[in-house]
Amino acid sequence: MSFAEQVKDELARVVPTEVEARRSELTALLRMGGSLVMGNGGAGIRFVTHHNPTARKMLTYVKATGGIVPQVMVRRGNKLRKKNVYTLTILPGPIGQRFLEELGLLPVTEIRDDEMFRGREVRRAYLAGAFLGGGSVNRPQGDYHLEFVTESIAFATTLVSMLKTFRLQGRIVERKDDYIVYLKTGESVARLLQIMGADQALLEFENVRVLKDMRNQVNRVVNCETANLQKTVDAAVRQLRDIELIRSVQSLHTLPPRLKEAAELRLAHPDVPLRELAGYTDKKMTKSGLYHRFRKLSDLADVLRAQAQDRGES
């Protein structure tokens, strides 16, 4: 079972106590997953889903809200598409049309859901209904992403407005013939799961998110330490190369005492970091002081290389 299905299973079991909240959830559910049908002097709606708990919840809500018994059809899954397809139809006619008008689904040219459904609890239910009808969310182990898919730009805009109620910034992107309203951060996805009432899914999501964040933090520290270690090794190799050149050309005994001490320290401790190496000096020199000594040794080695090049030596 996918994580999105887990979320939907949980949301399908959540029944708001307020009548208006159940009404808003049904409106969003039908607006997201339904399509209008016309005939018999009125309108009806056909709702299609692969998710059995959502189909049962929609059936219960319609019976309770409008006193209508939808026509139910189940198409069994096959080898290519294993999931059953559930089609619930409110037959077109005057009764169906009145039911859709009461939910704000008619006229189709107007979407006034953000005006009809204003309370926070009502809007929580609305977002849950929209997710049941056409939402999806990545498993927490992957990239953080939650989205609603709709064919209507007006409905997509309404969803963004509903999300703003809870200080969530939904984005809209067009994908083929659909409009996608999405959230892309772990914090925003977790917040919406909590808002919609998917508490168990939220707990799983947050547990994985904490582990991911810890793992990422450890990786950053390890990468940083690895980079610092590489810098230390590279610096030590350069210093040793310079010192060996000086020793081979003019001997270390010709150096000023401070530079000679630094050179002999590096030769004695080729893999010790600069800060630790500074502690080996008699006068406990600072890292900065030792660094400047190696810079002078490097400058001297560069002069010797230039002289060798001028003489045609390698």
pLDDT (average), residues 158-169 = 94
Which segment of 120-129, 250-259, 282-291 scores lowest on mean pLDDT?
Answer: 282-291
pLDDT tens digit sequence for 117-149: 988 999 999 999 999 999 999 999 889 999 999
* Residue 188 in this model has a pLDDT that exceeds 90: yes
pLDDT tens digit sequence for 198-220: 999 999 999 888 888 888 788 88
Arithmetic mean of pLDDT over the chain: 89
Q: Are 246 and 297 in contact (CB under 8 A)?
A: yes
Confidence class of residue 79 from pLDDT cuts 50, 70 and 90?
A: low
* Residue 192 in this model has a pLDDT that exceeds 90: yes
Q: Please report, rounded to a whole number, the percentage of residues in the chain having pLDDT higher than 70.
A: 97
Question: Which domains, and CATH codes, for the chain?
Answer: 3-197 (3.10.28.10), 229-310 (no CATH)
